[in-house]
């Protein structure tokens, strides 16, 4: 079996915020406060952030600057949030978005 990827960040190159835990698709992921959600997920070895609506094809980060919308995810129940433009904060609940996403209705 292959080696488990745990962190692909380059150490010592920049100052980071405190280490925090976010939950992605029900699993804990360690990240640094202030880095983008997309950067945190890429550093943890994750490449697929959503699937397309029509053909259910995987998509990940493409432009990294908020132009292409390929990195949209559901963040804290809100669909279509650009992961490359959203800063990590402790306790975030993030889900891979399936297609166009859907809002959760509170009763």
Per-residue tens of pLDDT for the chain, all 107 residues: 555 556 656 666 677 789 999 999 999 999 999 999 999 999 999 999 999 989 999 998 888 888 888 899 999 999 999 999 999 999 999 999 988 877 666 65
- Residue 50 has, within 13 A of its CA and on its CB side, a CA count of 26
Strands across the sheet containing 72-75: 27-32, 19-24, 93-95, 72-75, 78-82
Residue ranges and CATH numbers for the domains of the chain are 19-98 (3.10.20.440)
pLDDT for 10 equals 64
Which parts of the chain fold into alpha helices (H)? 37-43
**Residue 43, phi then psi, degrees to nearest 5:** -65, -25
């Amino acid at each position: 079996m292959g080696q488990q990827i745990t962190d692909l960040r380059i150490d010592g190159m920049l100052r980071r915020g405190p280490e925090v835990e976010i939950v992605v698709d029900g699993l804990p992921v360690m990240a640094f406060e202030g880095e983008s959600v997309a950067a945190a997920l890429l550093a943890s070895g994750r490449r697929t952030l959503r699937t397309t609506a029509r053909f259910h094809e995987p998509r990940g980060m493409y432009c990294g600057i908020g132009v292409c919308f390929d990195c949209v995810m559901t963040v804290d129940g809100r669909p279509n949030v650009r992961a490359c433009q959203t800063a990590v904060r402790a306790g975030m609940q993030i889900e891979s978005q399936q297609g166009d996403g859907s809002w959760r209705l509170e009763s």
